[in-house]
Structures are given as C-alpha cells and as structure tokens.
C-alpha cells in the first residue's frame, strides 16, 4: 500500500527539515512525499533541495492559500492513501506510517485518525495540549467533535469521488472536508489509539478573539452545508469541547524521543468504530 504525504510550505525554513526528516525516518518505506511551495523567499527551497533524495516531487509556484496548495498536492498524489503533514509538524515516531497502513489493511476502513500533541515551538519535548482521540462514531459530529486533522488519512479514490478541500472556507476548510466525508457521505473511519503527530503550537485560527470568532463563523457555514443539525449551536460548542485538552494530565508531561519512549514500544490499539 502506497502512502502519499503532502506538505505545504511558504517561508518554512525554520522547521521544514524536521518535517522532512520525520518522514525519511519512517520504517515503512512505500511513501511518496510531495512538497508544494508557495514561492518562498527565505531558505525554504534550499532546504528542499538539500533533502531532495527524500522527496518524491516538489514544485514552487504562487497559490491561493494553504488549501489550494494542498489540492495541488492531492492532484499529484499517486498513493492508495493520502494525508497532510504541515511543514512545522513531525511524525511522533518512526512507526507512525506503519501503524496507519496496518489499520487500513486490518480493518478495511476508508479513513483513519489518531492522537495529536501540540508542543512548544522551541522545545518539542514539552507538551502544551494533548488532543486525545476517541473511537469513531458518526453522531459525534452533532456535538462539535472532529478528528485531529493532521492525523487524518483517507483512501485517495474517495477524493476523486467526493472532492478536494474547499479553499473559500479558509481556516475551516479542514473541518468542512472531514464533515463532508465522514458525516455527509458516511465514509467509514477507525481510531488508532496512539500519538501520531507532534504539532508546534500556534494556529492561524486561534491567535486572537477576532480570528477565533471568524473561524467559528466558517465552522457554522461548513456545518450548515454538510447538514449537521442545529449548526449554530454546534459551532459554539465545537471550540468549548476542546478545553479539556489543555488540562489533560498529558500536558504536564515531557516525553522522550521515539527511540527511547516506552509509549511507542507498546502495541498500537485500533478501537472499533461505534454504531
């Protein structure tokens, strides 16, 4: 099973090497790493060229934003399954892609997701927020739930059927994408009970109150479009149910690199989807 991983860059020189190296370190090797750059003016292209032996394909050209660039990558992808790894994110262990592929092969699911940690931008050993997943149940979308998008992988053939990211939703495009697939079209999904991605803290939809309100408005429009009942109330509930992620006991811990961390030496659990 071939896995396509799409990374979008724009002036990403600070952390891009960490991202690329985390893909290169995977012990599952049938990976296609695609990088879509938006005409960076810093050292991003130099880093891409330095790591070109680990990159299947890359381009640098102007785009209409992050999700437009992701769509370019999806059109180029040739893998059986596809996912996104942001330029300042990293896979949490060398086993991450293997665990994703195993889940697809062992459960015959159409999509998977797992746990995500937000880490300090400078000290990636320090956990700021722990996004702990739960077993998949479609009805959870009615209460504002969503999988952690950076951990979400899906069969590429479904994208040809149900479409790409809709760029005009801006920061809510990832939520709209998953709501469209998982809720509207009832695509099957499985939860992998393991930490899959380290994400550096600081998101464009959560910087200020104004940006958060704007993001909520876009969430509401995405919910309404995808026929989620009581969309206005659910759009208010959606950010509130994430508050416990900041107070989880995991956020008070530091964890070791994947070669030493006992967490990654235990078997990965795939929880059955709930009816």
Lowest-confidence pick of 71-80, 189-198, 237-246: 237-246
Q: Which domains can be identified in the chain, with CATH numbers?
A: 3-259 (3.90.550.10)
* Structure-token pair, residue 179: 């709501």
pLDDT score, position 44: 98
Residues 124, 138 contacting (CB under 8 angstroms): no
21-60 tens-digit pLDDT: 999 999 999 999 999 999 999 999 999 999 999 999 999 9
Residues 94, 258 contacting (CB under 8 angstroms): yes
170-218 tens-digit pLDDT: 989 999 999 999 999 999 999 999 999 999 986 554 455 566 677 888 9
This prediction has a pTM of: 0.87
d(CA 269, CA 266): 9
**What is the percentage of the chain residues whose pLDDT exceeds 70?**
84
Closest CA to 271 of 159, 76, 114, 57: 114
pLDDT score, position 116: 94
d(CA 258, CA 11): 28
Distance (Å) of CA 38 to CA 19, 73, 76, 84, 156: 17, 12, 16, 16, 23
Position 259 confidence tier, pLDDT thresholds 50, 70, 90: very low
* Structure-token pair, residue 270: 């795939």
Place of tokens 């299947």: 56
pLDDT score, position 46: 97
């Amino acid at each position: 099973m071939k896995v396509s991983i799409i990374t979008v860059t724009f002036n990403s020189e600070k952390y891009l090497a960490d991202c690329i190296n985390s893909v290169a370190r995977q012990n599952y090797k049938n990976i296609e790493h695609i990088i879509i750059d938006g005409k960076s003016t810093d050292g991003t292209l130099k880093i891409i060229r330095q790591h070109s032996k680990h990159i299947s394909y890359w381009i640098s050209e102007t785009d209409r934003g992050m999700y437009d660039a992701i769509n370019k990558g999806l059109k180029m992808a040739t893998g059986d399954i596809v996912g996104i790894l942001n330029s300042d994110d990293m896979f949490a262990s060398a086993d991450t892609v293997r665990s994703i592929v195993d889940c697809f092969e062992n459960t015959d699911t159409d999509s998977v997701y797992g746990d995500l940690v937000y880490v300090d931008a400078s000290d990636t050993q320090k956990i700021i927020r722990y996004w702990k997943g739960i077993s998949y149940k479609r009805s959870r979308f009615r209460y504002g739930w969503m999988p952690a998008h950076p951990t979400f992988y899906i069969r590429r053939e479904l994208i040809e059927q149900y479409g790409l990211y809709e760029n005009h939703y801006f920061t809510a495009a990832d939520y709209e994408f998953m709501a469209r697939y998982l809720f509207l079209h009832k695509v099957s999904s499985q939860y992998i009970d393991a930490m899959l991605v380290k994400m550096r803290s600081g998101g464009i939809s959560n910087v200020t109150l104004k940006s958060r309100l704007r993001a909520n408005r876009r969430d509401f429009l995405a919910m309404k479009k995808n026929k989620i009942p009581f969309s206005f109330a659910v759009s208010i509930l959606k950010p509130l149910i994430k508050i416990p992620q900041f107070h989880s006991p995991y956020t008070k811990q530091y964890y070791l690199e994947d070669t030493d961390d006992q967490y990654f030496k235990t078997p990965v659990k795939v929880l059955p989807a709930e009816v």
